[in-house]
Amino acid sequence: MAEVVDRERRVRVPTWVGSTTVLGVVWLVSRVVLVAVVFGIGEPAWREVTYYQRWHDQLTGGTFPVDDVSWQYPPGAALVMLLPRLMPFGGYVPAFVGAVVLVDALVFVALVRAARGAGAPTTGVWLWVLAIPGLLTVPFTRYDVVVTGLVVLGLVALRSRPGWAGVLAGIGASVKVWPAVVLLGAGKRSWVWAAGSVAVVCGVLALVLDNPFGFLTAQSGRGLEFESVGGAALAAARLFGYPGEIEYRYGSFEIVGPLVPEIAQASVIASVLAALWLGWWRLRVGVVGAEGAADAAMTAVLLFVVTSRVISPQYMIWLVGLGAVCLVSARTTQRPVVALVALAIPLTALEYPVYFSRIMSEWAPGTVILLLRNLLLVVAAIWSATLLWRGRRRTSEAGGGLLIGG
């Protein structure tokens, strides 16, 4: 069999691994199967989309969701809820899934082109192609593929079109805040365009719809989700007599009991410290370019995920997208971190949706799965930050202006 050599890693790989045709066929087959599974399972698989439909109906009535604590998103999220209206077939659920598949395809094409343009292996493309169906029904029944798509496209655009990268980051931030991580390694032009995009999107929506900022109250009232790092520790403690209970509150399953307020407060403090560290890193490094920006975004999201009061299964979609962009560059610092994220994918699928209800019922093996997944993410976050910092230090010692990693 003919072989090619990845010159950065000195690893021999079969020619078919880098074939765009093979990638395209695997993407198409896996997506057809995944869509069939979603609709084969029925409403239990796409129940979340029914919430989106309810919000869609309220939005078309002229107002953001009022007195709905599960609406915890910035004004731009309305655009995603209304997106199915642009699809050429009826029924909100089919139209929503169709829109997500379309964005998924755009991400796939963008990653293939980015890998070709950088002369990099297709490892990142394979990660996206395989990890999305690896999360089972979650990607096509949540709107996080759309948000992650904006981030991936923004980071790819940062290589040659910083203005467009800023626009995409701004739109993404107006939809779900975290896509602002695209700007961590970007220059002034991207920041200006991002700020303008946020102002336009949020401003226009605030003018045409009532109650645009009601989400702030619902967000502030959130407790400690049992899937988070701190929440999972308390969920495990229930196996040894901890008197906590799991209740459905604020759109997620939160753990309620002793120590919860203290752990939730510690999570907020940890997130603030992570943000301060990232700000310090940025001030010391300055503009790092597209490759460094992808690495920094990966570090930032990992830090915020593991310090958050909430870790929902769809958060893995964010990490898969960022990992795929990192791997587009053979010089990324984050290769081992992405490997840990990949290992967390099957554990996440087992935790949700496979064993979700049993874990809430104090099933020990399922709780171990959840703890292992979270441990992988914590190790990945610490390792990611360490590699990002070492990459900066090596660059400073070399007297360069870009974070090149190794």
The arithmetic mean of pLDDT across residues 383-387, rounded, is: 97
6 pLDDT more than 70: no
pLDDT value at position 182?
A: 95
Alpha-carbon span 258 to 390, nearest angstrom:
40
pLDDT band of residue 249 (cuts 50, 70, 90) is confident
**Ranges 20-24, 145-149, 289-293, 395-399: which has the least confidence:** 395-399
pLDDT for 299-347, tens place per residue? Answer: 999 999 999 999 999 999 999 999 999 999 888 999 999 999 999 999 9
What's the token pair of residue 403?
């974070």
9 pLDDT more than 60: no
| Cβ–Cβ under 8 Å, residues 390 and 281 | no
Helix (H) or strand (E) holding 309: none
3-state secondary structure of 158: coil
Residues 6+ apart with CB under 8 A from 187: 162, 287
238-266: b (≥16 Cβ within 10 Å) or e: beeebebebeebbbbbbbeeebbeebbee
405 pLDDT more than 90: no
CA 9 to chain centre: 27
| Cβ–Cβ under 8 Å, residues 70 and 218 | yes
pLDDT band of residue 406 (cuts 50, 70, 90) is very low
The arithmetic mean of pLDDT across residues 82-110, rounded, is: 95
| Mean pLDDT taken over the chain | 90
pLDDT value at position 4?
A: 41
pLDDT for 350-375, tens place per residue? Answer: 999 999 999 999 999 999 999 999 99
403 pLDDT more than 50: no
Positive or negative torsion for Cα 326, 19, 136, 144: positive
Predicted TM-score of the model (pTM): 0.92
**Ranges 17-21, 149-153, 290-294: which has the least confidence:** 17-21
The percentage of residues in the chain with a pLDDT greater than 70, rounded to a whole number, is 91
pLDDT band of residue 168 (cuts 50, 70, 90) is very high
Residues 6+ apart with CB under 8 A from 23: 108, 112, 122, 125, 126, 129
- Within 13 A of 113's CA, how many CA atoms are on the CB side? 13
pLDDT band of residue 69 (cuts 50, 70, 90) is confident
Alpha-carbon span 35 to 377, nearest angstrom:
28
The arithmetic mean of pLDDT across residues 249-261, rounded, is: 91
pLDDT band of residue 8 (cuts 50, 70, 90) is very low
Strand partners, 10: none
The percentage of residues in the chain with a pLDDT greater than 90, rounded to a whole number, is 79
